[in-house]
Amino acid sequence: MLIRSKHKKTRNPETSVPHPTVANRMALVRPRQALILAGWCAAGAAAAQEAPMIEVVVTAQKIAQPASKTPLSLSVIGSEELRQAGATNAVALTELAPNVQISTDSGKLQVAIRGVVSLDTGEKGDSSTAFNVDGAYVGRTEAQLGAFLDLERIEVLRGPQGTLYGRNATAGAINLITNKPGPRLEGRVDTDIGDYGARRAEAMLNVPVNGALALRAAATAVRRDTYLRPGPNTVGLENQDDNAARLHALFTFSPATSWLLTAERSKSGGNGGSTVPLTNFFSGAPIAGGNNLADPVYVDRGARAQLTAASRFINSDTHKRDVASSLRSEFKTTLGAVDLTYQLARLRAEVDQINNGTYFGFPLYSVVRGESTQLTHELRLNSAGKSALSWVAGLYHFDEEIFRASTYNTQTPGPLITVPFRPEVHSGSKAAFGQATWRLGDKLRVTAGARATRDEKSGHDPLSGSATGPGYSARVESAKSNFRLAADYDMLPAVMLYGSVSTGYKAGGFNDTSGSGYKPENIVSIEGGVKGRFLGNKLRLSAAAFHYDYKDMQLTSVVCAGAGTAANCGALTTNASSANIKGVEVEGSYAATPDDRVTFSAATADGKFNAYQPVAGRDWSGQQIDRAPAYNASLGYAHTFALESGASVAARVGTRLNGAYFLSDSAAAVRYRQPSYRKSDASLGYTAPSQRYFVQAYVRNIENTVTIESLLPGGFGLGAPRTFGLRAGAQF
């Protein structure tokens, strides 16, 4: 087999180096580290061949603009990078975007960005991250866990997004952008098999019906056995059985007017959530009640012991059947010098779970069933064409109805204790927003934005943890005006400096046992950075520094009215403390030759509680906040061998370092520290001529590092151990 000149520029999206449009992921490092890293990437540039990078267009600011000209902290993860990472749902973004920690809690998503997170995943809680699919907000955390399907890219916005996104976006925003119908008949099939019984299939078909209508259909199914070892258990442990399907219909009435209709359904299934004991990772005496360890100390017992499930589970009917069905409509047209967009979305999320765990040192199972329906409207106007003033303005309305019926059952000494809940919750949000950018000459731009939001939430539960009541009835309202002021300057044609001051807020709420309320949380962010392309467009580099003033943090823990009994237990959210968070970030990629690419990122985040005592006698003032590693960094290298036949072979290797972080139970004043760790990946793939088909072997988490990622009473949820497999696919 002959190898063609390595300077040939033919590329295959399946086996080539990561697509250049994903090069704008951002991360955090100290300034000195940034300079060393940038200098290392520039080494040898004089001998490098031309390998220009294609600019990616994003919609992070509700208008289409190049990522390198978007003055905010932004990571763009393209479809090929998602496939290479085996990203089947949002949990994988932890490994793909710096300063992002994503985990699950009993089938619900927990997203932390720069240490800002909401752990209340129940019906009364809201995420601190605005999660959107094609611009439509997804409120329920169980619906956010749907399988990834036929995505063009994911945009991860770090920092409060109080102006353009607004609703509960103190941490940031995650935007999933799907592939839309196109003008060519084309199709694609991907398959994946691996250890732990992993198998995945995805298919796509794009059909241009005529000049006015194009259809795009896609479907995927993902299966995987449990990562956990059963120990003495005979019941099924947490695994994966997901599927999703989507149909787009794009009507193009004229070059300026289109209407996109979307129907989508996803199911997150398998066995219900199951945990491993705290003692798999930590030593320490059980605290009265059995849900925590006193002064826990991390002990590395090895992956085999860490993955062994709790000593006994009691409900053999464990399952998870969460279904999210959505209908979306997006109408676009141009009215003179103004573009108009109207988005309407309806999302229905059904929950059906039986999860096993431990509580008070004894087996627990929870039964959760219910449904929610949300309806969102967004009307948006923005300037069309190029002028000294560009702007976007809009109105937003959100309405959600939630019903849950759940019981928590634990076998303490004596009879089975059942803790029942039957809440009904209504949430509503209205907002008006706008943002304008003035061009002051050829190089300087100034941006000002504002959003006025009014939120309300009401609910009642006749049980609220006790079959005899009295339950609760509560209502909270909050209103907030947020702003963003920014400026960016073209220091060179391909190098931009920017700075901003922005605010964000997360609405207040109430608790599920008493109806007691808690206040909104607020963040003021100051950020400055640089984005640029260097060395003849071979090096792309982004760097930023930020500082947060974080007020009235909403912290959530499970609390009980009495030790050793499950009666009157529930999730309690309080405004526990304020904090300061600061960091520096660097991210980029370097195309040393047309066949060699290096990607890199590094991050620091210094998040500390201000004066804070979770309970009497425990002082966490000045300590690191939860889920905010002091640093993380990644480094990857890819090389493509172009063969004489027109085929290609691509080899990749990458590693990620992550600093230590805490998972805490503030009600018990106990902190569990996950030590720093490293995870590395490698792959080798072959692509046939004309990209007709491909095959690739991969291994992920070569070190077999098992990490704790969520804290539940008496146990942990874990990250994936080492996995390996084979991918293959074909397209036409």
Rounded CA-CA distance 702/104 in Å is: 22
Is 5 domain-assigned? no
User: Which pLDDT score, from 0 to 100, does residue 200 have?
Assistant: 97
Nearest to 144 by CA among 178, 181, 175: 175
CB 41 within 8 A of CB 590: yes
Q: Is residue 48 part of a domain?
A: no
* Residue at 52 is within a domain: no
pLDDT at residue 466, as a whole number: 82
Tell me how many degrees the CA angle 17-185-211 measures, rounded to the nearest 5: 125
Total domains in the chain come to 1
Which helix (H) or strand (E) segment holds residue 557: the answer is: strand 539-560
CB neighbour class for 592 (10 Å; exposed up to 12, middle 13-18, buried from 19): buried
pLDDT means over runs of 10, the chain (732 residues):
38 36 35 36 34 71 85 91 88 91 88 92 89 94 92 95 88 95 97 97 98 97 96 89 97 97 97 92 87 94 93 86 97 95 97 87 88 97 91 97 92 78 95 96 96 95 84 92 96 95 93 84 96 93 96 84 55 87 95 95 95 90 94 96 96 97 92 97 96 96 96 91 97 94
> Is there a domain that residue 245 lies in?
yes
Q: Provide the pLDDT for residue 46.
A: 31
User: Among 221, 211, 135, 217, which Cα is nearest to 180's?
Assistant: 217
Q: pTM score, two decimals?
A: 0.89
* 238: its two tokens: 């947490």
CATH of the domain at 104: 2.40.170.20
Nearest Cα residue to 179 out of 218, 131, 137, 138: 218
Q: Rounded to an integer, what distance in angstroms lies between the CA atom of residue 331 and that of residue 215?
A: 16
The answer to whether residue 294 is domain-embedded is yes
Domain that holds residue 530: 20-43+62-317+325-382+434-466+480-731
Q: Which amino acid is at 668?
A: A
CA 5 to each of CA 65, 279, 286: distance values in angstroms, whole numbers, following the listed order = 35, 56, 65
Element (DSSP H or E) covering residue 211: none
Q: What share of the chain is helix, strand, coil (3-state, %, to 5)?
A: 5, 60, 35
Domain assignment present for 425 = no
Asked whether the bond before 363 is cis by omega within 30 degrees of 0, the reply is no
